[in-house]
Structure 1
Amino acid sequence: MARYHIETYGCTSNRGESREIERRLRDAGHHRVGGPDEADVAILNTCTVVEKTERNMLRRAEELATETADLYITGCMALAQGEEFADAEVDGEVLHWDEVPQAVTNGECPTTTPDAEPVLDGVVGILPIARGCMSDCSYCITKHATGKIESPPIEENVRKARALIHAGAKEIRITGQDTGVYGWDQGKRTLHELLERICAIDGEFRVRVGMANPKGVHGIREDLADVFVENDELYDFLHAPVQSGSNDVLGDMRRQHQVGEYLEVVDTFDERLEYWTLSTDFIVGFPTETDDDHRKSLELLRETRPEKVNVTRFSKRPGTDAADMKGLGGTLKKERSKEMSKLKRELVGEAYESMVGETRPNCLVVEEGVGDSVKCRDSAYRQLIVQHASDHGLEPGDFVDLEVTAHETMYAFAEPV
């Protein structure tokens, strides 16, 4: 797990985003340290109110880049003037704030504690369904903490989901190191059965399935896709991290799946679902990744056109087999990361642009946003922002039909119909 240092500048909104970043990092088993000199990763949440502030942000970014192995820059200046950091040759990666936690994890699985219990955060219920995984990735340190999959009975998880819904949860987030292999330790994969049981609970709510590695999903892909089709409670959203478009690199990563299996999962969902969101992850700059391997990853990204993509620059984790490999240079990893991130923004932006003018029915208001706004999710878990929420009487937990009016790269704006 990573040791992180985070610094936040600017308004209350920035501080709120930093708190959410830290919450996700803690949930994934990472811990905060006293300063950048003790950290594996530094996070700089920036402000851009005046020119003097911008100069301070650039100077602080340059300092942090020399003090830690990896620097992630987010916040107002990063998103509005990201080119300033590139022009200053700051060795850091500019990300939207909600991309930071995944980047810090280096493509590793999230890590829950042995006694992880459901958590209700506003109208969102977090339900860890299992602990551990069936993978042995060469770059991942998480497996040392979690071990192999341990799946509680379906009935136990249904009981926990029912308790969250009765307590006021309108969105249940199914989490685990690898949700796709739930039940493997009991003799068969039963994620689809668990989801069907949870969706049958009385009440109006939505269910989002967390990260499921392609290998685990592949064997149940048809049953799983059918459950999505048959249950409106399920967001039509699948997070299947492919990590590379090269079978050679996947082999060196010991990822268990090959590109063809990932494509078969995507094809199955495409055949059964007219409107859904594919989310995936890529690790850029793995020690054995060649220029041709990187090209294959870009081609796979273009072919499958996921609507949510996490791009992570490889960094070594102590005690892992990949840590003993001769690494690629930081400049090369940075260039490949920039190229893939640029393509990602184009593809995701096009997906949100295509929504403009459409009406998305029965969207869930999930949480308050910046100022007088709320964040909503449509049936495919796409993020829609409604401004002037109080004028519309919208609060977290409400369901509302929304017309998409405009878009940014990672989300769209909408108004109630």
Structure 2
Amino acid sequence: MARYHIETYGCTSNRGESAAIERRLRDAGHRKVEGATEADVAILNTCTVVEKTERNMLRRAEELADETADLYVTGCMAIAQSEAFREAGVDGEVLHWDEVPEAVTNGECPTTTPDAEPVLDGVVGILPIARGCMSDCSYCITKHATGKIDSPPIEANVEKARALLHAGATEIRVTGQDTGVYGWEQGERKLPELLSRICALEGEFRVRVGMANPKGVHGIREELAQVFADNEELYDFLHAPVQSGSNDVLGEMRRQHQVGEYVEVVETFDSVLEYWTLSTDFIVGFPTETDRDHAQSMALLRETRPEKVNVTRFSKRPGTDAADLKGLGGTIKKERSKEMSELKSEVVGAAYEGMVGERREDVLVVEEGTGDSVKCRDSAYRQIIVQDAGEYGIEPGDFIDCEITGQNTVYAFGEPV
């Protein structure tokens, strides 16, 4: 697991976001260290109150980038002035705070809490449907902690979902190391049925399906896409981490899918759903990755144009087979990461830009944002920020109708109608 160092500047809201980041990192088995030089990953949660603060943030970002392998910049300045870090040549990735935990995982499966019980966080209910996975990825240490898939009965998970709704949840996040293989150890593919049963529960709510590896989704892609189409409670959102556009690298990673299977999943969802979000992950700089392999990953990103992308530089995890491979130089990994991150910003930014003035969305208010704003999710789980929420009397748990009026690369702005 990764050793992380986190620094937080600014208001109580920033401190709350950092606390949420740390909670998710701890749940995933990562360990906090006090100094950036001891860390695999540094996280800088920024403030942008005055010009002097901005200069301090840029200087601190440059220092942290020199002190650790990977730097993630988040917080107010990262959202409002993301271009400032790029213009200053900061060797780090600028992310929204809730994208940070996924980026830190180095492409590994998320781990759930040991008892894998539901958790209510505000109006969001976290529902772990299973523990473990069916994969044996060469770079992943999570499998040593979680083992093979262990899927509770559908009825047990439906009852947990019902309990979350009764407790006040308006969004249920179905999670697991690999949700797509739910039920596989019993010789069944149960995810579509489970989702249909949860969506049939009483109440007005939304359901987000967590990470599902392409191999597991591929075998149920047509049935699963139809479940999404038939149930408005489901966000039309699929997180299928491809990790590489090269079949050679996927083989060395011991990923169970090939690029063609991932593309077939995307094509199936494209054919069934008119408006949906594809989320995927890429690991750049895997030890065996050549220039040609990297080019193939870049081409796949351009071809499939996911609306949400996590780009992570490979780092060795103790006890994994990939840790024994001779690694690429840090400069190569940084250059490839920068190139892919720039393409990611272009692709994701174009998706959000295309929403402006073109869409009117029924969104769910999920949580409070910075200042007097709220963070909402539309039908495809794209993030919509509504400002001056107090003036509209809007709070988490509300469903509101919005016109999309602007965007900032990884989210859009909405105005209540």
Structure 1 residues 15-94: aligned runs within 5 Å: 15-78=15-78, 91-94=91-94
Secondary structure of the 1:174 match is strand
Once the two structures are TM-superposed, the CA of residue 32 in structure 1 deviates from its matched residue by: 1.8
Within-5 A mapping of 1:309-324: 309-324=309-324
Number of the residue aligned with 1:250: 250
Structure 1 residue runs of 5 or longer lacking an equivalent are none
TM-align CA RMSD: 1.8
Query: Which residue matches 2:349?
Result: 349
TM, length-normalised to structure 2: 0.95
Q: Distance in 2 between matches of 1:78 and 1:214?
A: 31
Deviation at 1:67, TM superposition (A): 4.0
1:246-283 Cα deviation digits (max 9, x unpaired)? 10010011111000000111111111111111000011
What is the rounded CA distance, in whole Å, between the counterparts of 1:313 and 1:264 in structure 2? Answer: 26
- 2:102 aligned with 1:105: no
Partner of residue 404, structure 2: 404
Cα gap change, 1:329/1:178 in structure 2, threshold over 3 Å: closer, same or farther? same
Indicate the SS of the match to 2:394. Answer: coil
Aligned equivalents of 2:393, 2:82: Cα separation in 1: 36
| SS of residue in 2 equivalent to 1:73 | strand
Residues in 2 aligned to 1:28 and 1:215: alpha-carbon distance in whole angstroms? 22
Which whole-Å CA distance do the structure 1 matches of 2:273 and 2:88 have between them? 45
In 2, Cα distance between the equivalents of 1:371 and 1:241?
A: 33
Q: Does 1:231 align with 2:231?
A: yes
Residue 162 of structure 2 corresponds to which residue in structure 1? 162
Q: Deviations 1:186-206 (Å, cap 9, x if unpaired)?
A: 111210010011011111110
Distance in 2 separating the partners of 1:57 and 1:7:
11
Please give the alpha-carbon distance, in whole angstroms, between the structure 2 residues aligned to 1:362 and 1:62: 41
Give the TM-score normalised by structure 1. Answer: 0.95
Q: Which amino acid aligns with 1:369?
A: G
More off after superposition, 160-169 vs 97-106: 97-106
Q: Secondary structure at the match of 1:193?
A: helix
Q: Distance in 1 between matches of 2:152 and 2:339?
A: 42
Q: Name the SS for the 1:332 alignment partner.
A: helix
Please list, as runs of the form range in 1=range in 2, the aligned pairs for 1:55-204 lying within 5 A after superposition: 55-78=55-78, 91-204=91-204
CA distance in 2, matches of 1:95, 1:366: 19
- Mean CA deviation greater in 358-367 or 310-319: 358-367
* Larger displacement relative to structure 2 (210-219 or 341-350): 341-350
- Percent of aligned pairs with the same residue? 83
Cα distance 1:221–1:386, how it changes in 2: closer, same or farther (>3 A)?
Answer: same
* Letter matched to residue 198 of structure 1: I
**Structure 2 CA distance for partners of 1:94 and 1:367, relative to 1, 3 Å:** closer
Structure 2 CA distance for partners of 1:408 and 1:61, relative to 1, 3 Å: closer
1:292 partner SS: helix
29-38 or 119-128, larger mean C-alpha shift: 29-38
Query: Is the 8 Å Cα contact of residues 360 and 378 (structure 1) preserved in structure 2?
Result: no
- Seen in structure 2, the aligned counterparts of structure 1 residues 392 and 54 have a Cα distance that, compared at 3 Å, is closer
Q: Distance in 1 between matches of 2:402 and 2:62?
A: 43
**Structure 2 runs not aligned, ≥5 long:** none
Contact 2:70 2:313 in 1 (8 A): no
Q: CA deviation at 1:14?
A: 2.2
State how far apart, in whole Å, the 1-side matches of 2:66 and 2:407 are: 36
> Separation in 1 of the partners of 2:61 and 2:407?
29
User: 1:328 maps to which residue?
Assistant: 328
Deviation at 1:80, TM superposition (A): 5.3
Which region of structure 1 is more displaced relative to structure 2, 401-410 or 350-359?
350-359
The more displaced of 32-41 and 230-239 is 32-41
- Stretches of 4+ aligned residues off by more than 6 angstroms: none
